Each structure stands twice: as structure tokens, then as C-alpha cells.
Chains A and B, each alone.
Chain A
Amino acid sequence: MENRKLILSFETSCDETSIAVIENGDTILSNIVATQIDSHQRFGGVVPEVASRHHIEQITHCLNEALETAKVDYNDLSAVAVTYGPGLVGSLLIGVTAAKAVAFAHDLPLVPINHMAGHIYAARFVDQFKYPQMALLVSGGHTEIVYIESEYDFKVLGETRDDAAGEAYDKIGRVLGVNYPAGKTIDEWAHEGHDTFNFPRAMEKDDNYDFSFSGLKSSFINTVHNAEQREEKLDTKDLAASFQQSVIDVLASKTERALADYPVKQLVLAGGVAANQGLRDRIEKDLNQKFSNVQLLMAPLKLCGDNAAMIGAAGQVAFDHKKRTDMSLNAVPGLSF
């Protein structure tokens, strides 16, 4: 029992309160996730003050449940890991504050974790990591291509210049009458429709790894509004398919460009939008055809959304790399790699 490596991890960057216990960086002993989606659906999106209030309601209950489910006590733990950014400041603060209190109370090392590094480590539950490695991170708040030359050494190659991919899904979802988070429904509709509208593929041919989704969003909204003015009914499923095809084409082509320029052993696909079946299928097909020597690690579906298990997996590696913080740790809403 002496040699158990156990990380207690906290994740509260947006609208999920999550606490987990991870053993050896790759085994989930517990992963409690309390989601606030039902609350924010009232408002059509996450309201920061409401999110903060829900986090404080949940935090100690999730903590106790995580330890009980894992059947471990504080004495067994090696360290406490916590997401300190990026995210909503009020939400981040609940996790950061609670993690500091636990670390102080039990004299445990405190390990600060970047939420985006956490998303990458969701794929650690699929297989061991090999370097160099590439990651395509797609979520409601972020769209990034990250190059990881060696363990825990992250370099952002490209990112979105405006909306994140998931944000674009939510915005066009609103136009189609789909409540936040719209990704799953749009993905389902897309599979039943066809790309008939041929929306723009922004920056697809540009010589960089950046993204832009606001032009696509505007083009989509204009198309729908113009049809409404003509009192013409457009096929919702074709609209969804056309939108999704544009998003996927851009994500896939930029990822290909990065893989061609930076040879890697693995590609990690993670983040909330990585649960999108259309995207998973496309990346898998591309890799098989064009980069058959690159291993694809897709975050498990249940770990694509925000969760503390991925923070614990990243936490173990950060801990081994001697990453530490003291009791003055603050939330950093705009944190980047």
C-alpha cells in the first residue's frame, strides 16, 4: 500500500463540478461529475454567477463521494491537483479554493493544472503516451492544435481566432431551435442530411494552423433568415449536415497540415466536441489513409466533456515533473499553455 500513487483532482472550470481519485495516472478509482446543464438550459447558455452558486452547493458532497467511491482516505493520497484555468473565473475559484483547503488541511502537495492539458490526458485512459505527439482539442470554449514534443511540454500551433467550434454549434443550434449544448443533436441530424448548402470553409487554404468559425456561423444564419423572408422552408437536416461538414473539413485539413509539418507518433482527439461522431469518423479515416504510422488516441466518449479524471491523469504527470504551487494559487481565466 505504501507505493500507491494517488491523486485527488478538482475540476470546476465551467458548469460541471467534478472531483476524482486517480491511481498511477491511468486508473480511475472515482470520477464524480455533477452537471448543471439543466439549470443553464433555462437561459440558453451558461450564466457565470449561476454556475458559481451551483459549484459551492456541490463541492464538499462531490469531495466526500469521490473519496468514498475510491475507498481511500486522505492519508493515502500523494497530492491534490486542480484546474486553475482557462475557464470562468467564478467557477474556477470554487475548485481552486477547495483544493487549497484540502491540501492545507492534510499537508499535501498542490499541483496546478491547465484545463487544456487535462483534456489531452483524457486520452491517457486509452493508451500510454508516446512523443512527439499532436493533439486536436475541440470544445465549447476552445479549438486548438497542440504539439507535444516531449512529456508535459505543450506548444500551441494554432487556435481559433474567433468562436470555438462548440460555440458555433450552440449558436446555430439556437437558430434551429436546439437548446444548448446543441452539438449532439446537430451531429445526429447531420448524419441524416446531406451537404447541399456548401457553406464557406474559412482559412482552410491559409498557410497556418488557425481556425475561424464566425464566418461560417454568419453564413449559416443569413441563409436561414433569407429563406424565412422568402417564406421558404429549408431542410433542417441538410442545414445541419452542411454546417457540420464545413466544421469537420476545416478541423481535419488543419490537423493534416500540422501532421505533415510535424511528424508525430500519436494524435490525440479530445474536448467536448471530440464526442462528435462525424469528427471522430473523419479523423480516423484521414489517419488511416494518409498517416497510417500515427496512432490515433480518441478520448473516451464519457471523458470528452469536462471531468476531474483527466485532471488527475495530468496531475500525476505534472506531479512527477515536480510542478507545485503554494497557497497563493489564484484562478487564471485566460490561462494558455
Chain B
Amino acid sequence: MKILSIDTSNAPLAIALVEDDQLVAETTLNVTKNHSVFLMPVIEQLMKMASWTPAELNRIVVAKGPGSYTGVRIAVTTAKTLASTLKIELVGVSSLAVMAKDPAELTNLPVIAIFNARRNTVFTGGYQMEQGKLVSFIEDAHMELSELIEKINEKQQPVLIVGDILPEFKNQFETNSKFITLGNEQSSFPSAFQLGLMGAKINPVSDIDSFVPDYLRITEAEMNWQKSHPGELKKSYVREV
């Protein structure tokens, strides 16, 4: 099975070609957040070097969020359009799980991945290896950093934290919990190869058209609107004319 895997959820851009659980080609860029400019040229180049044609692809695996809204949308739009237009399979994987996979395998510790979501909040999820499989023990969510620290302290187990470990986060982790080990810089990059491997084992989505990112946070405009219009929810706000 020929898989193209894509992650542009945050600053790094990670792309891999994976065939039958073997890495064929992989690129990680950490030069810019301009994923719109680099994503397709890198895919084009990797495919050319691997002598793969688009028609030969069997499956697209995409990191579906959370992360930067625009970044996630570029990967998901590319993935769902490629899958739809080539009539091939599409798999979405949590961007937090992608980040957690390598460190969880290497250390055998429960791993918590965090992405900065501003105002001292994070997108976060907890993952650990169980019988060779990555399983979730804290469901992906958007929360205050203090809430995450509480959850960790409740578990009373050592955990490894990877991802956006900002200086102010580091300080709060170190002051408020004795269960936390902070990951190093190397553990803060997504691996598109890992994403491809994970995506190979997950059932493809049944409806590509309705596949959207996992933002884990509604927009501010909608949040305010819901507050002033309780109970007023429509099924669809978009119609064809």
C-alpha cells in the first residue's frame, strides 16, 4: 500500500511516502509557517524522486488537528481533495498523537503532547504504548494549563511532556507538579513517517466530503453568539443557490 502522509498542524511541515510500513521518502521543514507555498512542491518533489505517480497512491494520511487553524486546514484540504479526486482512502490522525508517538515508543513513559493555544491554554492529549499500540489516556482537548497539571497530579504517575514547552509553561510545570519530565527539542517535531505508520492501521473515513479538521475550539464569534442565543442551533448554515 502506497501512503502519502502530511502534517502541517504547527510551524514544521512534515511529509512522508510510506509503502508497506517502510519509509520511502520523508521531508521535514522548519523554516517557515508558509505551508501553502511549500506543501505541494515538496509532495511533487518527493513523489518524483520516489518515481511514484499520483494515480498509484492508495491512501492519504493527514494530521487533522488540533493546531494552527490555517496550518491544519492546508493539510486537510490537500488531503481530502487528493483522496476525493483520486478516489482513494483518507485517514485522519490526531496531530497530538503524531507528536506523542516517537517519545512514547522510545521512553515507554506516558506522554502528554501540548500545543500552545494562547492565554495560558493548550491543546493537549495524553498517549501511552500498550502492547505495541499507542492508546489515549487523556482525550484531546483544549484546556487551561493549570487544568492539565491538575489532571497529571491526580494520576500520580510520571509523565513526559512534549511539544510547545514555552518558558512560562516550563516554569508552571516545574513549580506545580513532581510527576513531570519535560521533553527536549528533538521530541518537539512531528514525524510524518510515524504518521504514515499510524494511518496504515486505522480504518479510512467513510465520507471524505464531510471530513473536517479537529479544531477543538469553536470560533470566538460563534461562542459569543451561542451565549446570546442559547438553544438556537441550526443543522446547516450553508446552502446551495
Contact = CB atoms under 8 A, between A and B. Distances in A.
Interface of A: 17, 32-36, 38-39, 42-43, 47, 49-50, 52-54, 56-61, 63-64, 74, 90, 93-94, 96-98, 100-102, 104-107, 326-328, 330-331
Contact of A97 (B77, B213, B219, B221): B77
Contacts of B169: none
A59 B81 contact: yes
Interface stretch (B30-38, B113-121, B137-145): B30-38
B238 A34 contact: yes
B27 interface: no
A31 to B, nearest CB: 10
Nearest to B220: A49
Contacts of A53: 212, 215, 219
Contact of A101 (B73, B81, B225): B81
Contacts of B74: 93, 97
B78 interface: yes
Interface stretch (B17-25, B39-47, B147-155): B39-47
A contact face: mostly helix, strand, loop, or mixed: helix
A63 B84 contact: yes
A93 B76 CA distance: 12
A326 B80 contact: no
B81 A102 contact: yes
Contact of B234 (A38, A47, A59): A38
Given A59-B77, A90-B73, 7 more contacts: A36-B237, A54-B237, A61-B209, A90-B69, A101-B40, A104-B40, A327-B43
B239 interface: yes
B86 interface: yes
Nearest to B83: A60
A16 B78 CA distance: 19
Contacts of B168: none
Contact of B225 (A43, A54, A97, A331): A43
Contacts of B40: 100-101, 104, 327-328
A60 B88 CA distance: 13
Contact of A64 (B38, B78, B209): B209
A50 B221 contact: yes
A101 B4 CA distance: 13
B237 A38 contact: yes
Given A38-B239, A53-B215, A93-B36, A106 B54 contact: yes
Contacts of B239: 34-35, 38
A101 B44 CA distance: 10
Contacts of B238: 17, 34-36, 38-39, 54, 57-58
